[in-house]
Amino acid sequence: MESLAHIAFGVYTALIVGGACIAVLARSLVRSLVGLVATLFGVAGLYLLMAAPFIALMQILIYVGGVSVLIFFAIMLTHAAPTGDESKSRPVRKRLNAIFAMTVPAVVLAIQIIVHGPKGFEMPSEVSLPELGAGLLGPYLLAFELISVVLFVAMAGAIMLAWRQWGKR
């Protein structure tokens, strides 16, 4: 059982690493989106390994089903061509900035995690679905309601923004 979990962890991590590299480095935006979807599936697999199947399903439902479709709409509506903005050359300073922004948190946080990080339990704690539901309707009710208000305001704001632009034409 233990080695099976290790194999599954390796597979999901490979999916995450490969997908993230494609998402960041691909010239074409659609390929980059496909890399993002692969990463999202890998993270959902890791949630399953952590004994959080509800969060894994929500990850697939919200991210793969909702957010990635939204990003696909954004790609279509901006008429992004594969030979467009992304394939132009960039100044060297920009590459240096990007590498700097990546390495500083990587080095600092990796040292913190490896040297000083808590060991934690080997087995994840089990949370049943009724406990999650009781949490949503009990102590965390305010956050649950506020997130619906935030979603509503975001949708209404998005429609307002797009509406004005279309009205002008």
Partner 1 sequence: MSALQLYQLVALFLLCVGLYGFIWRRSLVSMLICLELMLNGAGLSIVAASQHTAANAVLGQLGALLVMGLAAAEATLVLAIVLVVTQRFKTSESISVSELKG
Q: Token pair of 159, please?
A: 């429609």
**Alpha-carbon Rg of the chain, whole angstroms?**
21
Q: Output the smallest distance, CB 161 to partner 1, in A.
A: 4
Measured distance CA(67)–CA(102) in Å, rounded: 25
Q: Output the smallest distance, CB 58 to partner 1, in A.
A: 6
Q: Output the smallest distance, CB 51 to partner 1, in A.
A: 6
Q: How many CA atoms lie within 13 A of 61 on its CB side?
A: 6
**Quick one: CA dihedral 152, 157, 160, 166, positive or negative?**
negative
